[in-house]
Amino acid sequence: MSTMTFRRLVTVSTVAVTISTFAPSGSAGALGGAQCKAADAKTIFHADAVKREATLAELVAKLQARKDPFAMNAAQISTLQHASSAISALDTKVQATCYATRADFRTDAATLFTGYLVYWLRVPQSHAIEAADHLSEARSKLGTVATKLGKLVGTNQQAKIDLDAMTTALDTVDAQLGVAPTPGMSIAAVRDLAPAPDMTADDAALNTAHSDLVAIRQQLQQARADGQKVISDLQG
Amino acid sequence: MRNTRAHRLAAGAAIAVAAAVAAGCGGSSGSKATPLAPTTASSPAPGNTTSARQGATSTPGSAELAALQQQLNAAGSALDASGSAVSGSDVNAAKAQEGSAPS
């Protein structure tokens, strides 16, 4: 072996050691001389990850702006922030890894879609918590109005009838939404949901909560309309 | 003498009635209110509870109703704000966005 050849070998081995030192296993642009797979899919994956991180940030901001009457927001915010950090770390790993096969890439990438379920679970779950927050605020305001109207109706029979209707609607709301700080059953069930291989139970809980929230909102709208009638009754 | 006294009494009663009518109430607060121009003498229109005119002529009850109307409006705003959150809690609409790993 000539001196020149020996120097080249040393240089090549130094470069190889340098690459293996700075890159994780199976990373860099080539693996054992072979081309890394799924480079195009990595770009798509990165966009999917960034999109989810943005969605999670939006959900966090919405919950942070709320009053949290049921004391559910803080835990949900923490869950969302952890999911965002994990997704960011997963994206970093995927981008840095040189996959020998596309199947290897898909194994890692699938975690984003099955392990976090940002859209399947976290979005409707967070919105349900946020909706309960808003509805609780409306319930509280309407309850205050109903109490004060109760002191004003006197002998006005029509006002009494309309106030009774308002109170009945609010009682129905309490049964479903719960009374702060205790959330209703379906709302509390949503709070505890987590990603699962079989999402059947999660779907059922989310569907029940959504149906309840729609009904609660309708009841509150009815209560508000009844309250408006009482005021009109008293105005003569 | 009697005629003069009777005349004074009648004049006093007329002034009191006029003041009550001008105040637009005919109730207890009317006699204490500052007499208003004839155009403001009618009863306040329902729903127009925050006008300056009504503020001058309202009974305690109507002022309270006006405050309750505002609270009712605030409840309506909270209900409006809940709309997008309630819609967003629909799992069937949300999970369609989940997708799957690129192949």
Residue A5 lies in a domain: no
Residue A50 lies in a domain: yes
Residues B54-98: tens digit of each pLDDT = 444 444 478 889 999 999 999 999 999 999 999 999 999 999 899
Q: Write down the pLDDT at residue A34.
A: 67
Residue A25 lies in a domain: no
B10 touches chain A (CB under 8 A): no
Q: What is the ipTM of this complex?
A: 0.83
Q: Which of residues 111-130 of A touch B (CB under 8 A)?
A: 112-113, 117-121, 123-125, 127-128, 130
Please give the residue range of the domain that contains residue A126: 34-235
Whether the pLDDT of residue B99 is over 70: the answer is: yes
Residues of chain B contacting A221 with CB distance shorter than 8 Å:
79
Q: How far apart are CA A166 and CA A168, in angstroms?
A: 5
Residue A21 lies in a domain: no
Which chain A residue is nearest to residue B97, measuring alpha carbons? A119
C-beta of residue A232 within 8 angstroms of C-beta of residue A149 = no
Q: Write down the pLDDT at residue A29.
A: 52
Q: What are phi and psi of B98, to 5 degrees?
A: -60, -45
The domain total for chain A is 1
Q: How far apart are CA B21 and CA A175, in angstroms?
A: 50
Residue A26 lies in a domain: no
Instruction: Walk along chain A (236 residues) in steps of 10 and give the mean pLDDT of each run.
Output: 45 38 46 79 96 98 96 97 98 96 95 96 98 97 97 94 98 97 97 95 98 98 98 91
Q: Write down the pLDDT at residue A175.
A: 97
H/E element, A178:
strand A178-179
Q: Write down the pLDDT at residue A32.
A: 58
Residue A70 lies in a domain: yes
B46 touches chain A (CB under 8 A): yes
Residues A43-100: tens digit of each pLDDT = 999 999 999 999 999 999 999 999 999 999 999 999 999 999 999 999 999 999 999 9
- Work out the burial of residue A51: count CB atoms within 10 Å of its CB; fewer than 13 is exposed, 13-18 middle, 19 or more buried: middle
Residue A65 lies in a domain: yes
A138 touches chain B (CB under 8 A): yes
Residues of chain B contacting A124 with CB distance shorter than 8 Å:
88-91, 94-95
Residues of chain A contacting B61 with CB distance shorter than 8 Å:
152, 234
Residue A17 lies in a domain: no
